[in-house]
């Protein structure tokens, strides 16, 4: 029944899935709030609005680029990942950063289309520049941008130069601002990376349990799906390669963060949800699909209770 319901993609499914997230979000908020104030309510509403925007972007990327089949499995899993890691629902800055990351990824994955290619490549570089100004380590996602260009378009002077110009545009504006108002130290700190390699947080029981479970599902999905995908020619194979590298880069960016409070794990949600969804779609027996989806739905509740 669950597999049949979420096996479709329509507005009703989106409302149900967002309602599931709303329940997770309210449970997390109520459990961590002691005193309710006007400022707190405004902050929570603003975070919720960012999440709604994030889900819309996520759904758009999947449907527009056909990263999954015509169903709601991907969005459901993406939403449930926040229940696996409740810490990711509290940091408004991190949520906002990942909304911008999805805007960047939307352009990166759309490079496949032959329409307005140079504009998309420039936009990819531009949004990467914005991300760099907000979180310098995200510049590593530039590898994904050039990989997408290499997979879907021809490598030449234009396709290499245009994303660099897009990337430099916001940085040049910010550098000019810092120079004019004598804030050059703020600009130079963007290039001074300090990584905190204290991963003790990830050994706590809830995070460790979620990571082991989802890590196992992700590895199984990659091992079982990759040989089949590589045997098929076309865009789907190239997208799969892009998704795998997306995951590797996201893990790298997560590792070299300055601080680790758990909210940064959200970086992994996009590639992990797509990879596992592709495996879920390949399961032939509805009974097994129902069990798997039920497990995904129940686990966040268990984590919250424990």
Model pLDDT for residues 246-269, shown as the tens digit of each residue: 999 999 999 998 888 888 999 999
For residues 68, 212, 76 and 89, what is the CA-based torsion angle, rounded to 10 degrees? -130
What count of residues does the chain have?
306
Distance, CA of 202 to CA of 210 (rounded, Å):
10
Gap between the Cα atoms of 259 and 112, Å rounded: 35
Is the predicted pLDDT of residue 146 greater than 90, yes or no?
yes
Q: How many CA atoms lie within 13 A of 108 on its CB side?
A: 25
Query: pTM of this prediction?
Result: 0.94
**Which has the higher per-residue pLDDT, 231 or 129?**
129
Instruction: Please give the pLDDT value at position 102.
Output: 96
Residue 121 contacts residue 111 (beta carbons within 8 Å): yes
Nearest partner of 273 among 83, 79, 94, judged by Cα:
79
Exposed, middle or buried, 91 (CB in 10 Å: 0-12/13-18/19+)?
A: middle
pLDDT tens readout for residues 148-160: 999 998 889 999 9
Kindly state the tokens that stand for 137: 């380590």
- 279 and 221 Cβ atoms separated by less than 8 Å: yes
**Cα-trace Rg, the chain:** 20
Burial 116-152 (b: 16+ CB within 10 A, else e): ebeebbbbbbbbbbbbbbebebbbbbbebbbbbbebb
* pLDDT at residue 1 tops 80: no
Instruction: Write down the domain spans for the chain.
Output: 2-305
pLDDT tens-digit series, residues 99-124: 999 999 999 999 987 788 899 999 99
Q: At 10, give phi and psi (nearest 5°).
A: -155, 170
> Average of pLDDT values for 52-79?
92
What angle (nearest 5°) sits at the alpha carbon of residue 297, between those of residues 270 and 222? Answer: 40
First to last CA, the chain: 28
The three-state secondary structure class of 77 is: helix
């Amino acid at each position: 029944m669950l597999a049949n319901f979420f096996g479709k993609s329509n507005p009703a499914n989106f409302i149900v899935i967002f309602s599931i997230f709303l329940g997770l979000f309210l449970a997390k908020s109520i459990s961590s709030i002691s005193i309710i104030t006007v400022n707190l309510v405004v902050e929570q509403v603003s975070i919720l609005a960012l999440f709604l925007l994030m889900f819309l972007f996520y759904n758009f990327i999947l449907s527009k680029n056909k990263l999954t089949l015509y169903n709601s499995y991907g969005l459901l899993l993406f939403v449930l990942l926040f229940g696996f890691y409740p810490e990711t629902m509290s940091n408004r800055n991190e949520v906002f950063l990942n909304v911008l990351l999805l805007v960047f990824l939307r352009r990166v994955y759309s490079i496949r289309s032959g329409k307005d290619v140079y504009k998309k490549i420039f936009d990819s570089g531009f949004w990467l520049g914005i991300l760099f100004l907000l979180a310098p380590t995200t510049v590593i996602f530039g590898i994904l941008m050039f990989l997408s260009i290499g997979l879907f378009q021809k490598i030449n002077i234009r396709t290499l130069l245009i994303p660099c110009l897009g990337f430099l545009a916001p940085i040049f504006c910010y550098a000019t601002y810092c120079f004019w108002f004598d804030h050059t130290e703020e600009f130079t700190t963007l290039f001074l990376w300090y990584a905190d390699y204290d991963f003790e947080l990830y050994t706590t029981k809830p995070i460790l349990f979620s990571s082991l479970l989802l890590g196992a599902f992700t590895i199984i999905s990659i091992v079982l799906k990759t040989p089949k995908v590589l045997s098929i020619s076309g865009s789907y194979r190239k997208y799969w390669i892009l998704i795998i590298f997306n995951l590797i880069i996201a893990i790298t960016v997560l590792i070299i963060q300055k601080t680790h409070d758990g909210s940064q794990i959200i970086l992994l949600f996009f590639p992990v949800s797509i990879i596992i969804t592709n495996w879920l779609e390949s399961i032939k027996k509805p009974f097994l699909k129902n069990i798997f989806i039920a497990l995904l739905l129940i686990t966040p509740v268990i984590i919250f209770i424990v």
